[in-house]
Amino acid sequence: MSRLGGGPPIYVSTDIEASMDDVWRMTQDTDLHPRWDARFSSITPTAELPGGGQRFRYELRLPGHVLTGEGTSVGEKRRPDGSRTSALRFATDDRLSPLGDGRGYWRYEPTPSGVRFTTGYDYRPGWGGLVDRLVLRRCVGWLTAWSFDRLRIWAERGQEPERWPLHSVLWWWRPERPRAARCRRRASDGRVMDAAPATLDELEAP
C-alpha cells in the first residue's frame, strides 16, 4: 500500500490472556470501544454497508472543541487459521484535527494463552508532514499503545477502563496502571501496512 505522508505507519501489538470472543466483543462493540480507547469519546453506527460492515460517526471531545469524523469498517470473524481481522477507513473535514483521512486494521491471532491483538494504520497529516513526523505521530502511537494496555487490563482483570483515566499515567505509585511500554511498537519485518487484510482494499470510502 502506498504511504499517506507524514511519519511511518503506526504499529502496536499486545498479548491478552482472554478469550477471542471477549476481545472481539470489547473491540467491535461501538458502546464498549470508546470506553478503553482514548482516541475516541463516542462511536455511533449510522448505516450498514451493502457488502457487509458499517458506516459510523466518531467524536473526540477536547477542551473547547469536539473533533468529528466519519468512517467505514468491516470485520472477518472466521478465517481458516483461526484469526480474525477488522479493516477501517476514516476521514474528517475538521480543520483542527491532527489526523486527516486514513486507513488501518486490527488483527486478532490466537495464542496458547489468549489473543495477540495488533493494529497497523496510516493517515494524512492534518497539521503538516513535519509536525506529524516530529511530534504528533509519536503521540498518537503512544496513545494507541496506552489504550491497548488499558484494554488488556480490562479483559484480563475485569477492571473497567474508567478506573484508569488518562491522567493515571502520572500515578507512578501504581505499577499496575496501564502503560504504553508494555506493548510492542515495531513490526518485526517493518512492513506494517503490507500486513493489512484484503478487505481493507475493498472497503468503501467514508
Residue-wise DSSP of 57-84? EEEEEETTEEEEEEEEEEEE---TTS-E
Q: What distance in Å separates the CA atoms of residue 6 and residue 66, rounded to the nearest whole number?
A: 24
Q: What distance in Å separates the CA atoms of residue 126 and residue 179, rounded to the nearest whole number?
A: 27
Which pTM value belongs to this model? Answer: 0.94
What pLDDT score was predicted for residue 129? Answer: 84
Contact 9, 122 (CB under 8 A): yes
What pLDDT score was predicted for residue 153? Answer: 98
Q: What distance in Å separates the CA atoms of residue 33 and residue 119, rounded to the nearest whole number?
A: 14
Q: What distance in Å separates the CA atoms of residue 114 and residue 143, rounded to the nearest whole number?
A: 23
Residue 194 CB-density burial (10 A; 0-12 exposed, 13-18 middle, 19+ buried): exposed
Q: Are strands 10-16 and 114-125 parallel, antiparallel or unpaired?
A: antiparallel
As a whole number, mean pLDDT of residues 35-49 equals: 96
What pLDDT score was predicted for residue 189? Answer: 84
What pLDDT score was predicted for residue 150? Answer: 98
As a whole number, mean pLDDT of residues 41-60 equals: 94
Give the model's confidence band at 1: pLDDT under 50 very low, under 70 low, under 90 confident, else very high: very low
Report the mean per-residue pLDDT for the chain.
Answer: 94
Q: Which three cell numbers stand for residue 155?
A: 479483559
Task: Look at residue 23 and tell me whether its pLDDT is greater than 80.
Answer: yes
What pLDDT score was predicted for residue 170? Answer: 97
